Amino acid sequence: MSNDKDTLREEYSEELIKSGERGKYAQRYREGSNVVLIDPDLHKLFPDSEAVNRALREYLSSKRTGT
């Protein structure tokens, strides 16, 4: 897509484009995000946010107690 022509794909209706809300997620973006990518081998051990958070809390707890 290296042409300068302003075109709209056929599958997108003009009404759909006009119904968008500018800045809908601006506040959320300003607040920041904590997205972290996990390598595939680790994803097998930590398949979701709950597993990652639990492991990090256990790690921090062991650091505080010195074990």
User: What pLDDT score was predicted for residue 39?
Assistant: 94
pLDDT exceeds cutoff 60 at 6: yes
| pLDDT tens profile 10-31 | 787 777 777 778 888 888 887 8
CB 52, CB 38: distance < 8 Å: yes
- The per-type count for the chain, helices as H runs and strands as E runs, is 4, 0
The answer to whether the CB of 28 falls within 8 A of the CB of 34 is: no
Q: Higher model confidence: residue 24 or residue 1?
A: 24
pLDDT at site 4: 63
Q: Could you state, in order of their start, the residue ranges of all structural domains in the chain?
A: 14-65
